[in-house]
């Protein structure tokens, strides 16, 4: 039995790094701050997230999918974090709420949102034509202008068909990018950045946003655009299977939770449970959330629980981290850390490979059906 006087090196429980941070100094970089002083509690978990993301998930053979919930883009996180991550090749495919993409578009078409207060009388705001997202304020006409923009572009010939949301967002991103150029703007819209970088963007609930409402409004006028969720389910699963079959790994980076979280993770059950394709689960799992797991909410479901569904490879549990933190705090820190410690990697341009990846998955599915029904 070890006594209080036993040397640290003889006790396997005390092999962790000693907590002896240096004093914080002026002009210390964010990356150094994370490494030197984020040592315990959720600061410690954020440090682990930064290390896992920069040191393992950003290897060139890893395909990184990210899910986005919460009002991130109205707060400027599209410009400050998501565009740098996309352009640096650190995110290969995305599942987002439609709201994040809709509010991102405001910036790309030259509209503004403003810092405000969460304590303003909302009846006054309504009378003055001002909309509030907590402490973000903007003119009601921003919504009307963005609605008009989407109704205009989806009237174009290329939208008159059934498609998945990745194709829809790629086409929309091209129009946003063109509007940026016409207005003399740059790096305003991350949807435009995903178009340029070939990063497919999916929405798990396409009707649950102002974009979806405008698609529905145009349908009343005879517009033939229809968004097919089956296309998205198959394309996202094919992306994961392609990553694995090429000898690489699949990583999931979950910002918040909700429907985009499950849509990102369900790629593995779709392969294993539904299509019968042998697979073990995602290799890396990172989540930034403020949701508790004990209330039954999807947003708080842990990596261990995900193992029971086949969503995460059980052998990969050491490479999973959940950080209980506000995403608007953690995401800028993580982005800065990754750009500082790791730097850019080549773009995978998965948007251009979607059809080929689905065809490969289809062949694997057919082989499985033949094995079950010889």
237-279 pLDDT, tens digit each: 999 999 999 999 999 999 999 999 999 999 999 999 999 999 9
Confidence of residue 4 (pLDDT cuts 50, 70, 90): low
Average pLDDT of the residues in 55-69: 98
361 lies in a domain?
A: yes
pLDDT for position 292: 83
Average pLDDT of the residues in 41-65: 98
User: Per mean pLDDT, which range of 220-234, 302-316, 320-334 is the poorest?
Assistant: 302-316
pLDDT for position 300: 63
The SS3 of residue 47 is helix
Q: Are 349 and 166 in contact (CB under 8 A)?
A: no
At 78-114, the pLDDT tens digits run: 999 999 999 999 999 999 999 999 999 999 999 999 9
DSSP per position, 66-107: EEE-SSTGGGTHIIIIIHHHHHTT---EEEE-HHHHHHHHHH
Angle at 175 between CA 82 and CA 359, to 5 degrees: 75
Which of 244, 249, 261, 311 is the catalytic position? 311
* pLDDT above 90 (res 369): no
Percent of the chain with pLDDT over 70: 96
The region that residue 343 occupies, defined by phi over 0 for left and psi between -120 and 50 for alpha, beta otherwise, is: left
8 lies in a domain?
A: no
* pLDDT above 60 (res 3): no
Confidence of residue 374 (pLDDT cuts 50, 70, 90): low
* pLDDT above 70 (res 1): no
152 lies in a domain?
A: yes
* pLDDT above 70 (res 128): yes
Q: Are 288 and 42 in contact (CB under 8 A)?
A: no
Distances (CA, A) of 31 to 269, 287, 322: 36, 19, 19
Residue 61: HSE in the Cβ half-sphere, 13 Å Cα cutoff: 7
Q: Give the chain's domain count.
A: 1
138 lies in a domain?
A: no
Q: How far apart are CA 80 and CA 46, in angstroms?
A: 19
277 Cβ contact list (under 8 Å, min separation 6): 241, 271, 361, 364, 365, 368
Beta bridge partners of 240: none
349 lies in a domain?
A: yes
pTM of the full structure: 0.94
Average pLDDT of the residues in 174-203: 98
Q: Are 92 and 64 in contact (CB under 8 A)?
A: yes
pLDDT for position 367: 87
Helix ranges (DSSP H) in 4-54: 30-37, 41-52
pLDDT for position 22: 93
Active site residue 311: yes
199 lies in a domain?
A: yes
At 148-164, the pLDDT tens digits run: 999 999 999 999 999 99
8-state DSSP, 312: B
275 lies in a domain?
A: yes
Residue with tokens 């939770």: 257
CATH code of the domain in which 198 resides = 3.40.910.10
Tokens of 61: 């053979």
Confidence of residue 50 (pLDDT cuts 50, 70, 90): very high
- In which domain, by residue range, is 349 found? 25-108+144-372
Alpha-carbon radius of gyration of the chain? 22
Average pLDDT of the residues in 175-192: 97
Q: How far apart are CA 302 and CA 212, in angstroms?
A: 30
pLDDT for position 372: 72
- 130-133 and 136-139 beta bridge pairing: antiparallel
133 lies in a domain?
A: no
Average pLDDT of the residues in 122-147: 98
Give the other-Cβ count within 10 Å of 35's Cβ: 16
* pLDDT above 70 (res 9): no
* pLDDT above 90 (res 293): no
């Amino acid at each position: 039995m070890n006594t209080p006087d036993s040397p640290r090196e003889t006790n396997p429980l005390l092999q962790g790094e000693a907590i002896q941070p240096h004093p914080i100094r002026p002009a210390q970089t964010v990356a150094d701050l994370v490494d030197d002083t984020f040592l315990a509690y959720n600061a410690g978990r954020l440090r682990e997230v930064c290390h896992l993301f920069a040191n393992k998930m950003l290897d060139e053979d890893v395909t990184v999918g990210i899910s986005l919930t919460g009002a991130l883009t109205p707060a400027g996180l599209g410009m400050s974090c998501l565009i740098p991550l996309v352009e640096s090749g650190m995110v290969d495919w995305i599942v987002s709420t439609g709201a994040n993409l809709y509010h991102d578009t405001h910036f790309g078409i030259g509209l503004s949102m403003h810092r405000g207060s969460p304590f303003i009388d909302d009846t006054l705001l309504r009378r003055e034509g001002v909309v509030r997202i907590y402490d973000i304020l903007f003119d009601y006409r921003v919504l009307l202008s963005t609605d008009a923009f989407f109704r205009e572009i989806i009237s174009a010939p290329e939208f008159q068909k059934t498609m998945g949301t990745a194709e829809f967002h790629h086409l929309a991103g091209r129009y946003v990018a063109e509007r940026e150029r016409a207005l003399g703007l740059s790096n305003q819209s991350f949807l435009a950045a995903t178009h340029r970088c070939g990063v497919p963007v999916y929405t798990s609930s396409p009707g649950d946003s102002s974009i979806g409402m405008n698609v529905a409004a145009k349908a009343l006028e005879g517009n033939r655009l229809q968004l097919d969720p089956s296309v998205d389910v198959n394309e996202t699963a094919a992306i994961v299977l392609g990553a694995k079959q090429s000898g690489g790994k699949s990583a999931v980076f979950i910002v918040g939770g909700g429907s985009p979280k499950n849509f990102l993770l369900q790629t593995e059950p779709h392969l294993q449970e539904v299509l019968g394709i042998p697979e073990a689960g995602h290799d890396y799992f990172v989540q930034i959330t403020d949701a508790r797991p004990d209330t039954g909410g999807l947003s708080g479901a842990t990596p261990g629980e995900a193992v029971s569904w086949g969503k995460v490879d059980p052998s990969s549990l050491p490479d999973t981290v959940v950080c209980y933190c506000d995403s608007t705090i953690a995401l800028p820190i993580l982005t800065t850390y990754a750009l500082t410690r790791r730097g850019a990697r080549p773009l995978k341009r998965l948007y251009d490979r979607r059809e080929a990846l689905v065809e490969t998955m289809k062949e694997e599915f057919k082989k499985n059906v033949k094995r079950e029904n010889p």
